[in-house]
Copies of this chain bind each other. A is one copy, B any other.
């Protein structure tokens, strides 16, 4: 099993809410992770995507981008979300996907160097759920910290 398939398997095995959301890993490259979810298990009372599902998927995409980067380097860290700003811009009436990338001004080089030097490093990630028309349904900017295990 490759690293992304193993990451998807562990998400679904370890996080009951990820199973309830029927989350799947759509694609991964060093600079972007895309997690997808069908609408049906993630609706709200209005029949569009529940804000909690959107926030969960966006946060997991950001977290996963960093976790997969660290696993590719065999870096044994725990990664925690510290804070986030979420904007809900348009309702989502279909299956959706959260795209996570590094925020402006962030780089893997800076993150890796800080982690090597101090055993912990922070990183801001920008996540969004794009719509078919090219606009974003919602965005999340989140700050994570990675802490090396002793």
- A86 neighbours in B (Cβ, 8 Å): 55, 83-86
Which residue in chain B gives the minimum CB-CB distance to A63? B51
How long is the Cα–Cα vector from A115 to B57 in the complex, in angstroms?
Answer: 33
- Asked if residues A83 and B88 are in contact (CB atoms below 8 Å), the reply is yes
* Interface status of A53 (Cβ within 8 A of chain B): yes
- Asked if residues B20 and A50 are in contact (CB atoms below 8 Å), the reply is no
Q: Map CB proximity to B onto A62-85 as digits: 1 under 8 Å, 0 otherwise.
A: 010000000000000010111111
Interface size band for A: 35 or more
| Closest chain B CB from A14 CB (angstroms) | 4
- Asked if residues A14 and B44 are in contact (CB atoms below 8 Å), the reply is yes
* Interface status of A43 (Cβ within 8 A of chain B): yes
Most buried by B among A10, A46, A88: A88
Given the known A-B contacts A82-B88, A87-B83, are A52 and B42 also in contact in the complex, defined by CB atoms under 8 Å?
no
Given the known A-B contacts A83-B85, A83-B86, A88-B81, are A17 and B20 also in contact in the complex, defined by CB atoms under 8 Å?
yes
How long is the Cα–Cα vector from A78 to B41 in the complex, in angstroms?
Answer: 21
Interface residues of chain A, those whose CB is within 8 Å of chain B, are 10-11, 14-17, 20-21, 40-46, 50-53, 55-57, 59-60, 63, 78, 80-88
- What are 30 A-B interface contacts by the 8 Å CB criterion? A11-B45, A14-B45, A15-B43, A15-B44, A15-B45, A16-B40, A16-B41, A16-B42, A17-B50, A17-B52, A20-B20, A46-B78, A51-B56, A51-B81, A52-B52, A52-B56, A52-B57, A52-B60, A55-B55, A55-B56, A55-B59, A55-B86, A56-B56, A80-B88, A82-B87, A82-B88, A83-B88, A84-B85, A84-B86, A85-B85
